[in-house]
Amino acid sequence: MSQSWSTSWLFWALLSAAFAALTAIFAKVGVAHIHSDLATLLRTVIILALVAAMVGFGGSWQAPGEIPARTWIFLILSGLATGASWLCYFRALKLGDAARVAPVDKLSVVLVAIFGVIFLGERLSALATLGVVLIAAGAALVALG
C-alpha cells in the first residue's frame, strides 16, 4: 500500500529541509542591518501569525483546558528550547557565513539521534549510526574549512 505525499513523513521532512535552507539564506540577508535578537523577534511574530491562521482556518483548534498538563509542560520546554535555538542561530548568522553556520546548526540531527537513544529508548541501525557519524564529520569539515 503506497502512501500519498500528504501522509508521507519523508515528503514533509524534505520540505522542512528546503524551507530551513531558505530560512538560512533569507535570515542572513535579514540580519544585515539590525540586531539579531530583533530579527528573531520579528520572525517569531510572523511565524505566530502564520501558524495561528493555519490553526484557525484548518480547524485544528483545541481548547487549552482540554490539553493534558504533561503536554503543556513539554510544549513549554520545546518552545523555550526553540526560542533559545533561534536566538543563537540568528546571532551565529549575524557573525558568520550562512554556508558554515547552517551545517553546524544541523548538528542538532546528531544530538537528536543521541538523545533519542538515551532518553526515548530509540534504536539506531548500524547504517543509521554511520549516517549520524558522517553528518557530524561533515559539519566539522564545513566549520573548519
From first to last of its 145 residues, what are the pLDDT tens digits of the chain?
567 888 888 898 899 989 999 999 999 999 999 999 999 999 999 999 999 999 999 999 999 999 999 999 999 999 999 999 999 999 999 999 999 999 999 999 999 999 999 999 999 999 999 999 999 999 999 988 8
From the list 111, 110, 106, the residue with the least C-alpha distance to 133 is 110
CA distance 17 to 139: 16
Q: What is the pLDDT of residue 7?
A: 86
Q: Tell me the residue type at 140.
A: A
Residues 113 and 128 sit within 8 Å (Cβ to Cβ) = yes
Beta-carbon count within 10 A of 93 CB: 25
Res 145: pLDDT: 84
Three cell numbers written together for 95: 557573525
What cell numbers appear for 113 in the block?
539521534
**By the 8 A CB rule, do 23 and 35 touch?**
no
Per DSSP, helices labelled H in the chain are 9-30, 36-58, 69-95, 98-105, 107-120, 126-144
pLDDT, position 136? 96
- What per-residue confidence (pLDDT) applies to 110? 96
